[in-house]
């Protein structure tokens, strides 16, 4: 083969590999963002449940504390659906805080749907 038959092949290869690497990099960024938000919501729900399980607190205070922690750590949009209730887990009374939040999306493409996380704390008798 002559040099004229392969002229411009490097540019095409660069564009194809560059596009593939860009998509791969954006997928990693998307996954990292979702995991960060999920872990932050789990921590806020667990902290809110522990706060609400104190002797002079209740489910309403747990819900408010969880929403406050989410608002400080992420954004108040992620604290739209926060609920709390007393539950029994393996015969032990516990306070359960549930958070439903939208999945964060990088750019216009990404997964849709919601995240649902729960935090628990044992209640004293």
Q: What mean pLDDT do residues 52-59 have?
A: 92
80-109: per-residue pLDDT in tens?
899 999 999 999 999 999 999 998 887 656
Tell me the C-alpha distance between 45 and 63, whole Å: 8
3-34: per-residue pLDDT in tens?
676 777 888 889 999 999 999 998 899 889 88
39-61 in b/e burial notation, b at 16+ Cβ within 10 A?
ebbebbbbbbbbbbbeeeeebeb
- Domain ranges within the chain, ordered by starting residue: 9-122
| Residues contacting residue 81 through CB under 8 Å, at least 6 positions apart | 99, 100, 101
pLDDT for residue 59: 95
Tell me the C-alpha distance between 78 and 21, whole Å: 31
Tell me the C-alpha distance between 116 and 37, whole Å: 11
Task: Tokens for 49, please give them.
Answer: 């449940």
pTM, two decimal places = 0.84
């Amino acid at each position: 083969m002559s040099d004229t038959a392969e002229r411009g092949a490097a540019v095409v290869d660069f564009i194809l590999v560059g596009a593939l690497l860009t998509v791969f990099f954006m997928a990693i960024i998307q996954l990292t963002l979702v995991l960060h938000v999920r872990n932050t919501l789990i921590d806020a729900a667990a902290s809110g449940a522990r706060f609400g399980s104190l002797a002079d607190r209740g489910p309403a205070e747990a819900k408010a504390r969880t929403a406050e922690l989410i608002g400080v750590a992420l954004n108040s949009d992620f604290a739209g659906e926060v609920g709390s209730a007393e539950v029994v887990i393996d015969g032990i009374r516990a306070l359960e805080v549930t958070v439903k939040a939208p999945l964060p999306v990088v750019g216009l493409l990404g997964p849709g749907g919601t995240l649902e996380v729960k935090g628990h704390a044992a209640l004293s008798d």
